[in-house]
Structure 1
């Protein structure tokens, strides 16, 4: 049974809270670090950040602030779809945006194609680890993923079709707004799935409410 569809109270009652909280916030920080590294690699970013960066070209806001605002707007779409936000959902909105701005202040721009490629690949691996830790904490889906699952449940369309449609839409809008599309965008699309899948086997926290093994969850 997935805990992402349970109420916040039920998610906390599932047990192993300290370990799950460490997974949650550690995963969100790694996710923000990966985003900042992709920006500094300057080879293109994932579709949602193409959208976020495109917006920053037209408003006097930092990238992290735009990420937070878009996350809040995505969370509002949950209301008509009767989705349950968890602690992880709310933390996703604010922790990633705040940490992203901090990492962008600290990390220098990467120069040299070889270093840029290594930084990009490292960022995708870190993103996979962070995403697996976040999902493995069982504290609710992120605001963008909740939009995807909500549309899937309401329309009956496959998760793959809904997710692909959403990401192509935000990618297209972001590109039109001036967001950076490049090698990193393609690499992310091809590698983020396998990266996250690899780390699932180490990061999924087994709970009493979830009888499946780590191997089952990672398969």
Structure 2
């Protein structure tokens, strides 16, 4: 299993990934199988042989493309991170105001992180593996996501506040709800999440 520092660097790479990377159908099939395997059995109980059998390829093929289990896990995490960010960009990209993008971005992030079969699923299946990425050893992950938001904030004149602290606060809020959804703040559906984000997060852009 990749360590937390490595995992954080993978997220940073996913944030900067070039979407025009040449397609590799065999690698995609292996990663599809890896995702299904990891979701059903967790990372610790899964082996390269398990993934190879599920993908219908030899273990040599998996090793040739991904090196070892850590490389396979890393590639799977990076692909899912990229997919999440693509979903996020698609949801907010057409909105004219940054305030609206923040509101919809909060809604999409909460929903996607909680329901994603790998990210949300592993948090329930193997919390001891995932929690360090989001808490004690999650500094690099926080920085990567913060800088992702900062880049977007700097593309518009709508944001008059210092983008760094605002972006970090927003990331911390999302992670907090992901780790502990029990709260007096109602964000259990999209409309409630929008109301919260518009009332408390969007005004931060103009501090």
**TM bucket normalised to smaller:** 0.3 to 0.5
Instruction: Say which one has the larger Rg.
Output: 2
Question: Structure 2 length normalisation: TM-score?
Answer: 0.35
